[in-house]
Amino acid sequence: MNRALFRRLGVASGGALLLALAVPAAGAGSLSSSAPDGQATTVMDGRLVFNDYGTGQLYTSNPDGSALVQVTHLRASRAFYPEWSPDSSRIVFNAFPTGEMRLYTIKPDGTHRHLVTAESPGYNDWAPSYTPDGQRIVYARCAPDPPGGGCAIYSVRADGADRRAVTTYGHGIREAVDFRPQVSPDGHWVAFSRFNWKGIGLQIWLVRADGTDAHPVTPARLRAGDATWSTDSRTLYFQAGPPLGLGIHVFKTPVNGSHVTQLTFTDYPNGDFNPDSSPSGRRLAFISDRTHPDLCCQDLYTMNADGSNQQFADTGLSLPGQPDWGSAPLQNGPSADVPQLSAAQLQAGKTLATRAETPGLLLLSSRSG
Amino acid sequence: MEHRMHRGQIAAASVLTSALLAFVPSSTASAGANAAPLVVNGRIAFSTGFIQPFPDTEGHSQIFSVNPDGTDLQQLSNAPKGSQAGDPDWSPDGSHIAYVSNVPGDFSVMVMNADGTGRHLLIHVAGSDFFTPRWSPDGTKLAVVHCRYLNGYLLGCDIEVMNADGTHRRLLVGSHVVNQDPEWSPDGTQIAFDSNRDGLVRAVWLVNSVGGGLRRLTRPAIEGWYPQWSPLGNHILFGNNAERPATNTFVMNPDGSRSRQVTHVPSPRSAFLATYSPDGRHAVFISDYLPGRGGDLFTMNANGTGVTPIVLDHPHVTFSDWAPATSSTDAATR
B176, B200, B268 member nearest A247 (Cβ):
B176
According to DSSP, residue B333 is labeled: -
A12 vs chain B: nearest CA distance in angstroms?
6
Tell me what pLDDT residue B17 has: 37
Residues 6+ apart with CB under 8 A from A272: A239, A248, A249, A250, A264, A266, A286, A287, A288, A290, A301
User: H-helix or E-strand containing B18?
Assistant: helix B7-21
B54, B219, B268 member nearest A20 (Cβ):
B54
Tell me what pLDDT residue B35 has: 61
Which residue in chain A has the smallest CA separation from B222?
A199
Q: Vertex A331, ends A328 and A333: CA angle to 5°? A: 155
3-state class of A356 per DSSP?
coil
Amino acid A143 reads A
Omega before A359 within 30 of 0, i.e. cis: no
List, as one string, the DSSP characters of A93-138. Answer: EEE-TTSS-EEEEE-TTS---EE-----TT-EEEEEEE-TTSSEEE
**Would you put residue A110 in left (φ > 0), alpha (ψ -120 to 50) or beta?**
left
Cβ proximity of B193 and B181 under 8 Å: yes
Tell me what pLDDT residue A57 has: 97
Tell me what pLDDT residue B245 has: 82
Tell me what pLDDT residue B129 has: 95
Angstrom distance (rounded) from CA A30 to CA A254 = 16
3-state class of B188 per DSSP?
coil
Q: Vertex A238, ends A235 and A243: CA angle to 5°? A: 150
Residues of A in contact with B242 (CB under 8 A): 1-2
Residues A5, B272: C-beta atoms closer than 8 Å? yes
Cβ proximity of A85 and A134 under 8 Å: yes
Per-residue pLDDT in tens (0 to 9) along chain A, 369 residues: 343 433 333 332 222 222 222 222 222 333 233 444 444 456 789 999 999 999 999 999 999 999 999 999 999 889 999 999 999 999 999 999 888 999 999 999 999 999 999 999 999 999 999 999 999 999 999 998 777 778 999 999 999 999 999 999 988 778 889 999 999 999 999 999 999 899 999 999 999 999 999 999 999 999 999 999 999 999 999 999 988 888 999 999 999 999 999 999 999 999 999 999 999 999 999 999 999 999 999 999 999 999 999 999 999 999 999 999 999 999 998 999 998 889 888 888 887 887 654 454 555 455 443
**What burial letters (b/e) apply to A312-332, b meaning 16+ CB within 10 Å?**
ebebbbbbbbbbbbbbbeebe
Comparing C-alpha atoms, which of A258, A262, A259 is closest to residue A272?
A: A262
- Model-level pTM? 0.87
CB neighbourhood size of A233 (10 A): 21
Residues A220, B220: C-beta atoms closer than 8 Å? yes
User: H-helix or E-strand containing B239?
Assistant: strand B236-239
B203, B222, B243 member nearest A2 (Cβ):
B243
Residues A10, B316: C-beta atoms closer than 8 Å? yes
Residues in a beta bridge with B75: B64
Tell me what pLDDT residue A137 has: 98
Which residue in chain A has the smallest CA separation from B151?
A294
Tell me what pLDDT residue B36 has: 60
Angstrom distance (rounded) from CA A17 to CA A3 = 9
Comparing C-alpha atoms, which of A57, A91, A93, A60 is closest to residue A77?
A: A57
Which residue in chain A has the smallest CA separation from B176?
A242
ipTM: 0.84
Per-residue pLDDT in tens (0 to 9) along chain B, 334 residues: 222 223 233 333 333 333 343 333 333 344 455 666 567 899 999 998 777 767 666 667 899 999 999 999 999 999 998 889 999 999 999 999 999 999 988 999 999 999 999 999 999 999 999 999 999 999 999 999 999 999 888 899 999 999 999 999 999 999 999 999 999 999 999 999 999 999 999 999 999 999 999 999 999 999 999 999 999 999 999 999 998 888 999 999 999 999 999 999 998 889 999 999 999 999 999 998 887 677 899 999 999 999 999 988 776 788 889 998 875 555 444 5
Question: What is the side-by-side strand order in the sheet with A58-61?
Answer: A69-70, A58-61, A48-52, A320-325
Which residue in chain A has the smallest CA separation from B286?
A9
Tell me what pLDDT residue A42 has: 63
Amino acid B139 reads G
Residues B153, A246: C-beta atoms closer than 8 Å? yes
CB burial of residue B117 (10 Å; 0-12, 13-18, 19+)? exposed
Angstrom distance (rounded) from CA A339 to CA B264 = 56
